[in-house]
Amino acid sequence: MGFLSYLKKIVSEQKENEEVSIAKTETKLSLEEIKARISSEQKQLLEKNEELRQKAKSVVQENISQLKNCLDSLKTANLDKRREDPKLKAIVLENVVIYSSYLEKFITDLEKFEDINKIDSIFENFYKNSNKSHQKATILIGKEFEEIKNVLKKMASDLHIYLKENKENIDKINKFKEAEGKLKEIAEISRTEKEIKENILKLKDTKKGKEEELIKNKKNSQEIIKSQDYIKENEKKEQIIVKTKSLEDKLSKIFARINLKELAKIYHENEKKYLLIRSYIENYKKAIEEDKERNFEKIVKEYLGEDINLVEITDKIAELKNYSFPNEIKLNQIGESINSLEIQIKRIEEDIAEEEKKIVRFESKLQEVEEKLRSQI
């Protein structure tokens, strides 16, 4: 039987339900005011609990001396004049010793208790452990046990009011701890929300810088396109395209006059020349580039009796194709930068949108936690 359960048998009490509350005002308290109020209430409750603990210790000390006297009386109980079976008397006395040891431990535990919340378990352990020996010992001994019972009953009655009030205070403290947890959660949400907002500002600043850079690049691009140098470069490019086509046509006409397959048959028995001709059949442009000693031109000289100057033509074509246009290069670089900036700006906008969604979620969570907190206090 637990101590509080035991109290129900010996103390009649009126049931009371009290909600934990901080003095409520019609105006809505700020979070800082709530925090201060919780701290103040907790301090008062802890001070009250210490006061209750000291009162409980005083009650224990007042009753312990009586309990020790009862224990001494129990230990000296004499059954010599009783006519019952000696075996029964022996069993009773044996259980008196056992009960006395439990009572001694109970007294020791009460004398050194520091936590008022442990009193219930001290009583509960004593009743649980001593129950059997008590039943056997009370077969022949009544007066001493009745005295012990009365002292326990009085001590339980005296302690009851303090234990009950302490329990109510502990419940209030625990609820305040829950409220503190909500305050910490609110602080964490607010901190995270602040970080997100700061990040959004940084993203917007970065976006603004990229947009300014984009505008500048587009402006530079238009200036280049409208410049005389770029116009002249375009004219030069057109001339190069015409010259390149002319040279490529000239090269095509040369190979149109040469019957490469016939030429391969003629030099079939000359492996070196045959393989060279075959390379020209497969890809004459590549073959010209690899024919460093211009052996094919020599073969054609033997075959057609004319100089064809393939290398000069291909070199000129390569030179024209590799002609550099500074403004076009600059324009291409600006174009790549514009594309890159547009991609970066789009990604930043997506990041901002995602961060703003987080803000909405955190504000909703913050409101939810605040409502729970206010409902608790």
pLDDT exceeds cutoff 80 at 34:
no
Asked if 221 and 338 count as a contact pair (C-beta separation under 8 A), the reply is: yes
pLDDT in tens, 263-317: 888 888 888 888 888 988 888 888 888 888 888 888 888 777 777 888 888 888 7
Percent of the chain having pLDDT more than 90?
Answer: 18
Residue ranges in the chain assigned as alpha helix (H): 3-10, 31-75, 86-112, 119-137, 143-226, 228-257, 260-266, 271-282, 284-290, 295-304, 310-321, 326-376
Q: By C-alpha distance, which of 244, 223, 240 is closest to 325? A: 240
Q: Categorize the per-residue pLDDT at 52 as very low, low, confident or very high, splitting at 50, 70 and 90.
A: confident
Distance separating alpha carbons of residues 267 and 298, to the nearest angstrom: 13
Residue ranges per structural domain of the chain: 29-173, 235-323
Q: How confident is the model over 183-190, as a mean pLDDT?
A: 82
Distance separating alpha carbons of residues 118 and 123, to the nearest angstrom: 9
Asked if 151 and 123 count as a contact pair (C-beta separation under 8 A), the reply is: no
pLDDT exceeds cutoff 70 at 336:
yes
Distance separating alpha carbons of residues 56 and 62, to the nearest angstrom: 10
Distance separating alpha carbons of residues 331 and 204, to the nearest angstrom: 28
SS3 128: helix
Q: Categorize the per-residue pLDDT at 26 as very low, low, confident or very high, splitting at 50, 70 and 90.
A: very low
Query: Which region among 29-38, 124-133, 289-298 has the lowest average model confidence (pLDDT)?
Result: 29-38
Distance separating alpha carbons of residues 230 and 328, to the nearest angstrom: 7
> Which pLDDT does position 341 carry in this prediction?
93
pLDDT exceeds cutoff 70 at 35:
no
> Which pLDDT does position 22 carry in this prediction?
38
Q: Which one is predicted more confidently, 206 or 250?
A: 206
